[in-house]
Amino acid sequence: MRSFIWTLGFGLFFALTARGQENLKFGFQLSPSFSHMRSTDPDIRAGGTNLGLKMGVMSEYYFRENYAFATGIGFFFNTGGSLLHQSAGQYWVRSGLDSLPAQARLKYNLQFIEIPLALKMQTREFGYVRYFLEPGMSLAINTRANGQVSGPGIADSDQAINIRKDVNALLLSLSIGAGATYSLNESLALTGGIFFQSGFTDVTDDSGTVLEAGKAPRREDARSSINAITIRVGIIF
């Protein structure tokens, strides 16, 4: 909660100090997001999708009439997904979890502070509407990580496990989005679009051990990343 207040306060301060500069705009977003996880290990499969939320401050610095650097700061709530482990093993070891049977499903509920950096390219205005394309990347800092385990022979439990020690602190992603802005007046516009985000750094810290029948134990060193589709809903001043 404290990190949320600090981040929101910083965003508001940034937005207020930006007012009055013609080539700098700012806004706020409250955007639903659907995320899932994938792994480079064929023995670990995607096992579910998380419904999350992006909330924060956006800013756009226009270096030409229809071209801008887009950045901001905000929270990405409840991102992650589930990973289905085909083999038995010891996972989330640093969080104190015991050995798990085959077909165990590990669900990740993660929260990040996210700082995007993108290039916004938009069309001229058609009536009150401009269309845009926005490729970029983002840096995300983990602030909370909870998990749940389910599967054959595992007692059902809604209790969340703190898995901060088994999740890497930083996440880097590539993103691309497209959408439109609708001008309400000279200084106020609504914005919306669809954004796809693909993580290219490992979310997990790879401290687990895979236990396969008839084989020696091996380290679970697969790269697991997060993909997300976000429906951006925001307002720009």
pLDDT digits (tens, 9 = 90+) for 104-124: 999 999 999 999 999 999 999
pLDDT of residue 199: 96
Q: How many domains, in total, are found in the chain?
A: 1
Q: Which two tokens stand for residue 186?
A: 């000279």
pTM of the model: 0.87
Q: Which two tokens stand for residue 236?
A: 């720009």
Q: Report residue 154's pLDDT band, with 50, 70 and 90 as the boundaries.
A: confident
Contact, 200 vs 210, CB < 8 A? no
| Nearest residue to 175 (alpha-carbon basis) of 136, 227, 201 | 136
Task: Check whether 125 has a pLDDT greater than 50.
Answer: yes
The arithmetic mean of pLDDT across residues 59-87, rounded, is: 95
Q: Which of 41-45, 64-68, 156-160, 171-175 has the lowest mean pLDDT?
A: 156-160
Q: Which two tokens stand for residue 137?
A: 């990347």
List the helix and strand counts (H, then E) for the chain: 1, 12
pLDDT of residue 96: 87
Domain that holds residue 196: 2-236
Q: Residue 97: give its domain's CATH number.
A: 2.40.160.20
Q: Report residue 221's pLDDT band, with 50, 70 and 90 as the boundaries.
A: confident
Separation between Cα atoms, residue 147 and residue 149, nearest integer Å: 7
The arithmetic mean of pLDDT across residues 63-91, rounded, is: 95
pLDDT of residue 17: 53
Percent of the chain at pLDDT exceeding 90? 73
Q: Which two tokens stand for residue 198?
A: 């693909």
Task: Check whether 11 has a pLDDT greater than 50.
Answer: no
Contact, 167 vs 147, CB < 8 A? no
Separation between Cα atoms, residue 219 and residue 89, nearest integer Å: 10
Q: Report residue 173's pLDDT band, with 50, 70 and 90 as the boundaries.
A: very high
pLDDT of residue 212: 84
Q: Which helix (H) or strand (E) holds 6?
A: helix 2-18
pLDDT of residue 214: 79
Average pLDDT, the chain: 90
pLDDT of residue 84: 95
Q: Report residue 13's pLDDT band, with 50, 70 and 90 as the boundaries.
A: low
Q: Report residue 21's pLDDT band, with 50, 70 and 90 as the boundaries.
A: low
Contact, 150 vs 48, CB < 8 A? no
Is the pLDDT higher at 176 or at 95?
Answer: 176
* 3-state DSSP assignment of residue 164: helix
Q: Are strands 188-199 and 224-236 parallel, antiparallel or unpaired?
A: antiparallel
